[in-house]
Amino acid sequence: MRCMLCGREFDESDMIVGKNHTGQEVWYCEECFEEMRGISIETIEQRKNKLKIIFLGVFLLLLTAYYFVANLYISMFLYLTMSVVICFGLDFFNHYYGNDIVQLIAIVVMSFIFNPFSSAFHLFILGALLQTLPISPSDVAPHGATRRKYGSTCASIGLLLCLVGLIWGAYNIIGG
């Protein structure tokens, strides 16, 4: 093969293939390429390899971040669902025994003791679970006195705590 710049003959394995401005293949020897570019072919290869490693590292970092964030939100959703199911199960129990204290204790336990998430999520869970208690004072269904007397108050406090938890959580996510 012949170098495009100096015209010397070289073996094909010693030549560098490039393209000119018209898109045709051109062949350069290493010395002419270094003079033309101002950098050696080894340096270019090293930079290409480093760039591949950087892109692989960034890709793995983004993949790991996605995995942890997706699992965190799935875990939060499952915890919320489990808490609501437990409280509604206790509500079914309360219909027969008329005792709301057990459900109130379960609400506090599910909101704070077993909750591995942020304080904002604690408040949101507490508010959501408190909203499972309300009933009107005129309802004659066999509910406990606590629910008949304080049901609407629990609903109001629960809604307020849900909103505070959501706002606080959004503030934490945005980066406050």
Domain ranges of the chain: 62-174
* pLDDT computed for residue 96 by the predictor: 57
Distances in Å between the Cα of 117 and the Cα atoms of 18, 114, 125, 142, 159 are: 56, 9, 10, 35, 20
Name which of 38-52, 58-72, 87-101 the model is least confident about.
Answer: 87-101
Beta strands in the chain (DSSP E): 15-19, 25-29
Would the pTM of this model clear 0.85, i.e. be above it? Answer: no
